Amino acid sequence: MSITPVPRVGVIVVAAGSGSRLGADAPKAFVGLDGHTMLRHALRGVFDGPTAQVVIVVPRGREGDARTDALEAAGDRRDLVTVVTGGDSRQASVAAGLAALWGDVEVVLVHDAARALTPAAVFARVADAVANGRGAVLPVLPVVDTIKQVDGDAVAAAVDRDVLAAAQTPQGFRRDILDTAYRVADRDYTDDAALVAAAGHQVFTVAGDPLAFKITTPADLERARAVLTPRTTVPLPRVGVGTDVHAFGGEGTLWLAGIEWPGEAPLSGHSDGDAVAHAIVDALLSAAGLGDIGTHFGTDHPEYAGAHADAFLTRTLALLAEAGWRVGNVSVQVQSNRPKFAPRRAEAEAALSAALGGAPVSVAATTTDGLGFTGSGEGVSAFAVALIVPG
């Protein structure tokens, strides 16, 4: 009978969160993505990574469910699985995981089950960095969105994104460093890297992965499901339809179809009221099965207050790319008495196309012969059709 060597790497998978922001009936890690739970997907990346003891920390009463998921994912590594009950906070749950590690473990990776699609390569990069002398390591992605510091609904200052990075998990540590940091911690920290840094240790970075996004909201869940949607043998294009309406009455100048219209009355809205850009966003998200504009850019996203078309379309393009899609083309029709589109149609199409990575965008404009709110000059409506193709 072969005996699995005791590994010197331990992975703590934190799966004890309630997931209240997800709005699900079950603890977050036990919400289904396709035919499996979020935890089961997270464990796939863990067991495809470096050989390690795997300690899964779950809410009380879910230990059996976690063990079932773990044994299915583990394959021939079933004897490396340990399941423990979590605490009242994430930090307490990680502490419970640390207490369950075997004595020979020297490198500890702490991973959030909510980052369910994290590839095995990220685990390997983090573990290798710690094994090669880095005492504390976390995977990061560059920040691509324009970042603003806000005060309420007002922009207070711009933030230099070149010095920012988005932290992910697994975060890796020399075991003695993490054990000591937990013993001396005097408050809760947002992640283990912050806790270790507070204990006086330098934290280093390695490359993260776009698939390691955290599933926190219903929009994140839709995004993960879209990534996992099985493709047909011959991938087929998909079509989406979007519409948006905004009334005149905002402050400043008019922004429509991605360009500014000096001297024209502005549209009201959470952002700049650009009905054309917003209809395009809805059409693209609908085609990809990624929800709608309210899901990703609603009033609970203050960073998009006052934002223009390029911010919305660039982010939408990234969401599609992460789900395996790219834009084929987009067609939009605008209904409004003003502004007059014909003189600037080419400029608007070029601006929208540039924001979508060069995908062709056509814009047509019409009036309603005085009928309805657009005909009376109260606002603008836009209708978009988008074609997306597998990326």
Q: What is the pLDDT, as a whole number, of residue 231? A: 52
Residue span of the structural domain in which 133 resides: 9-212
Based on the fold, state whether residues 169 and 307 are members of the same structural domain: no
244 labelled ligand-binding: yes
Does any domain span residue 222? no
Q: What is the pLDDT, as a whole number, of residue 370? A: 87
Does any domain span residue 43? yes
308 labelled ligand-binding: no
271 labelled ligand-binding: yes
Based on the fold, state whether residues 192 and 241 are members of the same structural domain: no
Domain boundary among 169, 184, 212: 212
Does any domain span residue 219? no
What are the C-alpha distances in Å from 348 to residues 241, 255, 263, 344? 20, 10, 17, 6
367 labelled ligand-binding: yes
Based on the fold, state whether residues 154 and 235 are members of the same structural domain: no
What are the C-alpha distances in Å from 5 to residues 8, 80, 105, 145? 9, 10, 12, 45
294 labelled ligand-binding: yes
Q: What is the pLDDT, as a whole number, of residue 27? A: 85
CATH assignment of the domain containing 82: 3.90.550.10
Low-confidence ranges of the chain (pLDDT < 70): 1-7, 230-235
162 labelled ligand-binding: no
Based on the fold, state whether residues 208 and 66 are members of the same structural domain: yes
Half-sphere exposure of 295 (CA within 13 A, CB side): 20
Q: What is the pLDDT, as a whole number, of residue 2? A: 46
Based on the fold, state whether residues 147 and 245 are members of the same structural domain: no
Based on the fold, state whether residues 207 and 304 are members of the same structural domain: no
41 labelled ligand-binding: no
Does any domain span residue 265? yes
Q: What is the pLDDT, as a whole number, of residue 236? A: 83
Number of domains forming the structure of the chain: 2
pTM of the predicted structure, to 2 decimals: 0.69
CATH assignment of the domain containing 373: 3.30.1330.50
How far is the C-alpha of 7 from the C-alpha of 29, rounded, in Å?
Answer: 26
